[in-house]
Amino acid sequence: MNPSWLRDAVFYEIYPQSFRDTNGDGIGDFQGIIEKLDYILSLGCNALWINPCYDSPFHDAGYDVRDYRKVAPRYGTNEDLYRLFQEAHARGMHVLLDLVPGHTSEEHPWFRESQRAEKNELSGRYIWTDSWFKGCRNIAYIGGETERDGTYLINFFKCQPALNYGFLHPEESWQTPVDSPDAIATREAMKDVMRFWLTRGCDGFRVDMAASLVKYDDEKKSGTSAVWKNVRQMLDEEFPEAAMVAEWCDPKIALRAGFHMDFYLNNSNGYTALMRDYEGHEDHSYFRREGGGDIRPFLREYEDWLQDTRDIGYISLLTCNHDTPRPRFHMDMEELKLCYAFLFTLPGVPFLYYGDEIGMRYLKLPTKEGGYTRTGTRTPMQWTKGKNLGFSDADPETLYLPVDDADDAPTVEAQEKDPSSLLSTVRALLALRHRTPDLQADAPFASICTDPEKAFVYRRGSLILMINPLCRDQRVEIRGEILYSIGQVAKKEDAIMLSGPSFAIVQPAD
């Protein structure tokens, strides 16, 4: 059973560094999130995912955790975070933290112990070879930095040693099997981290690199899935209302492994065709007006996944996340309206990245905290005109990242006053979704017309929806009432006319 609150959940992802600074130190904090909960709810987002906010040396923006049970002082105290949970719950909202189960920081006390020459309780918490000059097939490893005679495997950057969940097919004596005491101890330690937060008001986790736990050759992911099935059993028994969303992008596997939701990410063909088909000189992404895009590559993948995972869990589409360029990178405000209209009317549980509701730009910036090209997606939220666009009172030189200094940088303040703004469109769309069960997570989806020369027509429950990203006029033969529209849409006796880029939701007459 999935937690019932997911049926009508819409998530808002917050990169805490950049959301709202209330103490003038140039970086966002928990109090800033608390102050903006009413705003987030007013958008129609009733759940949050907060990127890692734990103690960390921040070589990867917090995905290098030094203490799983203590928040980073720059955001506030643990008590502030507990207060955030309470304030969110008081508004009927839910909060997911980011769980990083595959690796820690090299400064985590577990790793400090594990790298000691003398054998101890944590020697097997990470994956070590048995000699300083031995590496590991296919997986990056680090040598020469530890007391221990061995090299250790990393999961991502150099600062992120891989935790040991065992090997599916051990080949060497130093590779422990998945049911070894060390592998089980790692899993149990991670379950205790989850219990720690869940008993303090957290509602679940976005799980980082969820597919990465068991090492080779876990190609079908049976080893890693077994870990998650075990975790899910714990949740079902102890925290049945807690939710987990995987960073996996393979819902057939992830949802069967016990996740309630799996992200539809960039590395899939379907999402690329839909959102980011701009590798060559031309941009054929589906929502680009002149793009000549085609919805079918997306549908081939999505409908297959949807059918296969029906009644198991949800596929989560997102506007973007902290790892990818913002959609405004290549789409204008009108294109974004159609894009969001589509994302927010699909089944499953959608995610909106902070600032995408006003079309914040992707900025070209030098790397910060291991962000590299991702840094431009992580700039401060743009609230108002004026100093630091309302993000912080600090000296602009001391901000975590610079704000967008363009004269026409979008702000919440300006868009709230404009009924035709992107923000107003997001509000209207999400309000409609919340009052219409046919637009929520569970109602069935079916494509009706997928001809790339025509409007894409699809069904959600009893409703018919149509999207016309092209400049050409389209006629969709249907009799019914228009419940909601974007762009020029007109009802004729037996058809809906869509002029230029437009979108409509229609309640059919019969």
- Among all residues, which ones are annotated catalytic? 208, 247
Q: How far apart are CB 215 and ligand NOJ at their closest, in Å?
A: 16
Whichever of 260 and 322 has its CB closer to ligand NOJ, that residue is 322
Residue recorded with tokens 């700039």: 379
Whichever of 125 and 322 has its CB closer to ligand NOJ, that residue is 322
The C-alpha atoms of residue 59 and residue 15 are separated, in whole angstroms, by: 15
Q: Contact with ligand NOJ (CB under 6 A): which of 40, 97, 122, 209?
A: 209
Q: Contacts with ligand NOJ: how many residues (CB under 6 A)?
A: 9
Angle at 386 between CA 382 and CA 392, to 5 degrees: 60
88-117 residues in contact with ligand NOJ (CB under 6 A) are 100
> Is residue 506 a contact partner of residue 465, using CB atoms and an 8 Å limit?
yes
Burial class of 366 by CB neighbour count within 10 A (0 to 12, 13 to 18, 19+): exposed
The C-alpha atoms of residue 179 and residue 163 are separated, in whole angstroms, by: 15
Long-range contacts of 183-189 (CB under 8 A, 24+ apart): 185/124, 185/125, 186/125, 187/227, 187/230, 187/231, 189/110, 189/125
Whichever of 162 and 422 has its CB closer to ligand NOJ, that residue is 162
Q: How far apart are CB 209 and ligand NOJ at their closest, in Å?
A: 5
412-471 residues in contact with ligand NOJ (CB under 6 A) are none
269-308 residues in contact with ligand NOJ (CB under 6 A) are none
208 binds ligand NOJ (CB under 6 A): yes
Q: Contact with ligand NOJ (CB under 6 A): which of 113, 283, 323, 442?
A: 323
The C-alpha atoms of residue 98 and residue 308 are separated, in whole angstroms, by: 27
63 binds ligand NOJ (CB under 6 A): yes
Smallest CA-to-CA distance from 469 within 452, 484, 481 is with 452
Name the closest residue to ligand NOJ (Cβ).
Answer: 63
Q: Which H or E run includes 274?
A: helix 269-275
Smallest CA-to-CA distance from 327 within 362, 297, 364 is with 362
Q: How far apart are CB 64 and ligand NOJ at their closest, in Å?
A: 8
Q: How far apart are CB 51 and ligand NOJ at their closest, in Å?
A: 8
Q: Contact with ligand NOJ (CB under 6 A): which of 12, 15, 75, 156?
A: 156
167 binds ligand NOJ (CB under 6 A): no
- What amino acid is encoded at 409 in this protein? A
Whichever of 51 and 421 has its CB closer to ligand NOJ, that residue is 51
Q: How far apart are CB 155 and ligand NOJ at their closest, in Å?
A: 7
CA 43, 48, 49, 53 dihedral sign is positive
Whichever of 34 and 246 has its CB closer to ligand NOJ, that residue is 246
Whichever of 63 and 458 has its CB closer to ligand NOJ, that residue is 63
Question: Could you give the dihedral angle defined by the CA atoms of residues 396, 398, 403 and 407, in that order, rounded to the nearest 10 degrees?
Answer: 20
Q: How far apart are CB 52 and ligand NOJ at their closest, in Å?
A: 8
> CA of 174: how far to CAs of 87, 131, 135, 218, in Å?
48, 10, 11, 17
Binding site for ligand NOJ (CB under 6 A): 60, 63, 100, 156, 208-209, 247, 322-323
